[in-house]
Amino acid sequence: MSELTHLDNEGRVRMVDVSDKQPSLRRARAEGSIHMKPETLSQILSGQGRKGNVLETARIAGIMAAKRTAELIPMCHPLILTGIRVDFTTDRNHNCIGIEAEVKTFDKTGVEMEALTAVAAAALTLYDMAKSMDKTMEISGIRLMEKEGGKSGMFVRSSL
């Protein structure tokens, strides 16, 4: 098990110094989901709600959140992101919308937090836009699925 890199030898919080690292291509993919009543899902998918296209609004929120991750998570480095993708899948059998975000950069540190933040913001936006119809919605399963680049190399979450 590695050490907690955001703590110094005295246990004080610090931002990790990446000055000596070389930039490289970094990519991360995260996912999550939001479960809801069947009628809520149908209303969102129709695109005809009072608030407009809910999925496209959530996509924009996810992209914007990824770009602002360093402002939300105290020890994250501000990064120049070279690509952000937020996509949705629908599961009518389980009345849920799956959310996937992929973020890329060519920088000195990874984009795992940016991908996770994109998923969380997209899910929260879906909730916000549909809460008048369904306060029982549940956001779950936000997790890192893959990351590549940097000293630690490739990570792919194994299936359970």
What's the CA gap between 31 and 70, in Å, rounded?
A: 20
The residues, ordered by sequence, that sit 6+ positions from 82 with a Cβ below 8 Å of its Cβ are 104, 105, 106
Per-residue pLDDT tens for 65-116? 999 999 999 999 999 999 999 999 999 999 999 999 999 999 999 999 999 9
Q: List residues bridging with 147 in a β-sheet.
A: 28, 155
Q: For residue 3, is it within any domain?
A: no
Q: For residue 58, is it within any domain?
A: yes
What's the CA gap between 41 and 94, in Å, rounded?
A: 10
pLDDT at 10 > cutoff 90: no
Residue 32, classed as helix, strand or coil, is strand
Per-residue pLDDT tens for 17-71? 888 888 999 999 999 999 999 999 999 998 876 777 999 999 999 999 999 999 9
Q: For residue 102, is it within any domain?
A: yes
CB 22 within 8 A of CB 91: no
Question: What is the amino acid identity at position 26?
Answer: R
Q: How confident is the model at residue 1 (pLDDT cuts 50, 70, 90)?
A: very low
| Whole-Å CA distances, 59 to 65, 66, 87, 101 | 10, 11, 7, 9
Q: For residue 148, is it within any domain?
A: yes
Neighbours of 67 (CB within 10 A): 18
Q: List the domain range (segments joined by +) for residue 59.
A: 32-156
Q: For residue 139, is it within any domain?
A: yes
At 2 the pLDDT is: 57
Helix or strand run (H / E) with residue 157: none
Q: For residue 23, is it within any domain?
A: no
The enclosing domain of 100 has a CATH number of 3.30.70.640
Q: For residue 134, is it within any domain?
A: yes
* Residue set of the binding site for substrate: 75-77, 113-114
Catalytically active residues, by annotation? 128
As for how many domains the chain has, the answer is 1
What's the CA gap between 44 and 48, in Å, rounded?
A: 8
Q: For residue 131, is it within any domain?
A: yes
The residues, ordered by sequence, that sit 6+ positions from 152 with a Cβ below 8 Å of its Cβ are none
Name the pTM for this structure.
0.91
